[in-house]
Amino acid sequence: MSQAFDRLARPIQKWIRGQGWRELRAIQVDAIQAITGSTADLIIAASTAGGKTEAAFLPLISQVLDDPASATGFDLLYIGPLKALITDQAGRLEGICGEAELPVVPWHGDISAQVKTRAAKAPRGILLITPESLEALFIRRGLEIPRLFGATRAVVIDELHTVLDSERGVQMRSLLTRLELALGRSVRRIGLSATLGDMALARGYLRPEHPDRVALLEAKGGDAELQLQVRGYISGDDDQRAPSATQEIAANLFRNLRGSDNLVFAGSRQSVEIYADRLRAICEEERLPQEFYPHHASLSRDHRAFVEERLKDPGKPTTAVCTSTLELGIDIGDVTCVAQIGAPFSVAALRQRLGRSGRREGQPAVLRQYCVESRLTPQSDYVDRLRLGLVRSIAMIELLLEGWCEPPRPEALHLSTLVHQILSVIAQRGGASAERLYRTLCQAGPFKQVTQPILLDVLRALGDPERELIEQHSDGLLHLGRMGERLVEHYSFYAVFQTPEEYRLICAGKELGTLPMLNVLAPKMMIIFSGRRWIVEDVDDRDKVIVVSPGKGGVPPKFGGDPGDIHDRVIERMFEVLEGEHLPAYLDTAARDLLLEARDQYVQFGFSDTSIIMLSDLTAAIATRAGTVKTTTLALALRAEGYEVETHDGFLTVTSKDRIGELYDRLKHIADGDHEPLFGAQTNLVFEKFHPFLTRDLLTVDALTSKLDVSGLPRLAGAIL
DNA sequence: GACCTGCTGCGGTTTG
């Protein structure tokens, strides 16, 4: 086959021949050369189903077979973010390893304790594990880490792009450094990633000390042709008999998607429920078999598995109306079309979603973007008139076509995750000094922004005698206190991210899914859930169970959520769309008219000449031309001055009974670097899992580094003036 | 103005 093939171990070559492959893919050839030819860290970037797993593991397994380890422990470590992904990957690796008699050990919460105990007794082969289960190993078997991983020659991190900036990513990088410290040597890191934007930036996340020594392999994209359309709709029609925008979009989806496999990204779980309900109703009215199904994280595992199976089944046309649950991870095969309802939150997500379509040779990728704007009345404000949803959709599509997407942001302090790792290191070692914690987590580990004084403040907060989380013993070491032990001993400790409390929804003994507590439900109330209609029979507040039976009507449930950050570049492009003259060919007539109208309004309001306009004697609008982080920071600064402020994409609406005339002066002060403290006493700063253990001062520092851009404030105010 | 992800050890009982 090739030189690369010759470098593989015999059983692996035999497996490849057995697969009937005519040749290896380019990315696999390159990965085999890179992995067998050096010991450098490596990122392999290719699309889903691009053969990344084999590219990494064919040469890695070959090395294990050709040069068996003398030390004990798993030969290779794989970390994956989803249990379903680990199950998938274990199946594929078992196929490769079967011939070679190398064990493949999937290890996560659904694997029985018995299987884990047996594997840990004689560790060898490939361990596939979640970050949380690896955390549990450090806490429960801290002393066994060298025995479990003494032979480990590489760690493969799957879906690297999903853990660059997240809390989970910080936890994973911390575990990787703790692994190397426990072994007293470095372990080769290999990241598998989707191609998103500038991959060179990902190198610093894989090996922060030496990003320049991380090799980068990118699959040359055989980019499919892209067919796209943006459709405009008006909601809030005067004529009550006319179909609503929702009804029109559902009808359009039904007409265009029926008979093939598709994904409809509806933007929120509530919106998924609304559209799934409408599409089911249309199928019933037309007396056609059901082929539209909802899919989101609050639906039961059974239902989700059913929808995923149907998508894979070529005999059954299936459209999933979904949230980002179907954006990545598990393989559901190729879909004909991707529809997006409402503007997406990031170009990266849009690209990832579009990658689900047009994978087969000769098939185009198809994107149908639906935009809903409100009908204007004399009372409509400038935000409605500027059609910001449509404008953002266009801006994102333009950036997507240019190949841009959001880069990872420089790291914040991540104090919640730092608390978690402090407790974990103390549990792992049965006690640790402040000095060791600093070296392990801040110098060697991912908390590089955390200075010694900040770490000491965090330790003092945890050491507060009332909290009993940690205490200093006479040996000078920090140990877990009474509450610290209880916290760490409970299995809910391992995950670093927060999850809200929820009710379980049950019909005839079968679980339909879960609902957050913010839905106030009582018997006889009607609700839409899982794309169907229900009547509430009973609510058990103690066991958090809601019993329902099938009903005739209902309202869609609320799910809550946090607003996301829109990148500066997206907002800048939105202003270019508003100020430009180009009419993209992919707009339908309604969308084109809406855009022309928005441009006309933009000029009429005067935004083409100035960034501050007076809407009335009490209210002004400011065009910040900046993303969520900067715009929110300015909003806080103005609120601290006593103004009422509403935020929008790139705009602020500022109201004051008596001080609107001083707005220019206040902005001038802010431009000079002179502003009031941004947080009032009532501002909620607790938004991550371990935040409740920190002091107000530490929470303030954490929020300033993660959610806001205070140093950029003067420049932003200056640009507006 | 949003989405997603994860989880152990032990005691009791039964079976070979």
Which pLDDT score, from 0 to 100, does residue A617 have? 94
- A496-545: per-residue pLDDT in tens? 999 888 899 999 999 999 998 888 889 999 999 999 999 999 999 888 99
Which pLDDT score, from 0 to 100, does residue A654 have? 97
Quickly give A133 CA vs B16 C1' distance in Å: 33
Quickly give A545 CA vs B12 C1' distance in Å: 28
Which pLDDT score, from 0 to 100, does residue A360 have? 79
Residue A447 CB-density burial (10 A; 0-12 exposed, 13-18 middle, 19+ buried):
buried
Q: Which structure tokens are listed for A349?
A: 């997500």
Quickly give A170 CA vs B4 C1' distance in Å: 16
Please name the nucleotide lying closest to A322, CA to C1'.
B3
Quickly give A640 CA vs B4 C1' distance in Å: 34
- By C-alpha to C1' distance, B6 is nearest to A495
Which pLDDT score, from 0 to 100, does residue A415 have? 97
Low-confidence ranges of chain A (pLDDT < 50): none
DSSP-assigned letters across all residues of A639-680: HHTT-EEEEETTEEEEE-SS-GGGHHHHHHHHHTT----S--
A644-648/A651-655 β-pairing: antiparallel
Please name the nucleotide lying closest to A135, CA to C1'.
B7
- By C-alpha to C1' distance, B8 is nearest to A491
Q: Where on strand B do bases come within 7 A of a protein Cβ? A: 1-10
| Torsion sign over Cα A205, A210, A211, A217 | negative
Quickly give A624 CA vs B4 C1' distance in Å: 30
Please name the nucleotide lying closest to A297, CA to C1'.
B4
- A204-215: per-residue pLDDT in tens? 999 999 999 999
Which pLDDT score, from 0 to 100, does residue A518 have? 82
Distances (CA, A) of A89 to A59, A329, A546, A641, A685: 16, 11, 36, 55, 39
pTM value > 0.75 = yes
Quickly give A491 CA vs B1 C1' distance in Å: 33
Quickly give A614 CA vs B7 C1' distance in Å: 54
- A124-139: per-residue pLDDT in tens? 999 999 999 999 999 9
Please name the nucleotide lying closest to A559, CA to C1'.
B2
Which pLDDT score, from 0 to 100, does residue A19 have? 92
Candidates A250, A271, A541; CA nearest to A368 is A250
Which pLDDT score, from 0 to 100, does residue A1 have? 63
